[in-house]
A = this chain, B = another copy of it.
Amino acid sequence: MVIIIQCEDRVGLVADIANVLAKAGCNIVSMREHVDSEENKFFVRIVADGIKDPQDIENAIKAVLPQKAIVRVDPKPEKNIVVLVTKEYHCLSDILTRNHFKTLGASVQCVIGNHPDLKNITERFGLPFYFVSHENKDKESFESELMHIILPFNPDYLILAKFMRILSPGFVYSFKLKIINIHHSFLPAFIGANPYSQAYKRGVKIIGATAHFVTNDLDDGPIIVQKITTINHSLKLGDLIKAGRENETAALVKAMQLVFEDRVFVYNNKTVVFE
């Protein structure tokens, strides 16, 4: 059973937490702890055996922690997600396949596309696809339609699997640190539109992809995972985009797995990832 804790640091914190577990007869199988000394922040992820009543343990741990601590004992093991897409199939197909074979660590509730292109593949896997065009309407109306579809599913995370629309601050705020995006560059290089085209023009020898939480600063949210591929002069722009797809798929699925297994903590626009 997983226990995650994020709070202010102080002397004796590990002892106090470990004592709660020891008294309850629980064995710590694995423990990853990190302290940011500059910021005085404490992060721990514990895997423990022998927990009988998670809520009891959670309360007992809370009682020994500083104010405002975040504690979760036995967080939901399978998250619910809603996937937003535009036209590109590679990230979505990978998600659908893993969801189908129950290796995603989450359950896809539905897919929403601002283009209808990926309806077919979604439905092949027996999942609902909602087409919500962004055309001929303002962002508010568009996002209100999205919300109308998303909210009933009460998802733990929204996955932007190559969803090419910028979401408004209001929308992002409603899903604070619950939206994961895949950006097709090695951030902070090539922020914004057409990163592959920028990379091609610059003649870089490595291209990347970045999975990150979405905040209101475009492509500037906390980074979860980055992946790269070595390229060379012989790749034209189209080849670069093709090579990049493998990266994007790999970075997004890795980020999802880390988040779904409660291995990712966020503070100061950065992440602590206990891989």
Residues of B within 8 A of A34 (CB): 30, 233-234
> Which residues in window 212-241 of A have CB below 8 A to B?
222-226, 228, 232-234
A186 to B203, Cβ gap below 8 A? no
A27 at the B interface (CB under 8 A): yes
A30 to B22, Cβ gap below 8 A? no
A272 at the B interface (CB under 8 A): yes
Stretch in contact with the other chain, from A5-13, A65-73, A75-83, A138-146:
A5-13
Name A's interface SS: mixed
A203 to B22, Cβ gap below 8 A? no
Stretch in contact with the other chain, from A54-62, A108-116, A155-163, A187-195:
A187-195
**Given B33, B125, B233, B234, which contacts A28 in the complex, CB threshold below 8 Å?**
B33
Residues of B within 8 A of A25 (CB): 11
Tally of contact residues, A, Cβ under 8 A: 68
Stretch in contact with the other chain, from A93-101, A129-137, A175-183:
A93-101
Q: Please name the residue on chain B nearest to A205 by beta carbon.
A: B226
Residues of B within 8 A of A22 (CB): 11-12, 14-16
Q: Please name the residue on chain B nearest to A270 by beta carbon.
A: B203
**Given B27, B125, B246, B268, which contacts A9 in the complex, CB threshold below 8 Å?**
B27
Given known contacts A228-B206, A233-B273, A11 and B26 CB-to-CB distance under 8 angstroms? yes
Residues of B within 8 A of A275 (CB): 232
Determine the distance from Cα of A204 to Cα of B226 in the docked complex, in whole angstroms: 8
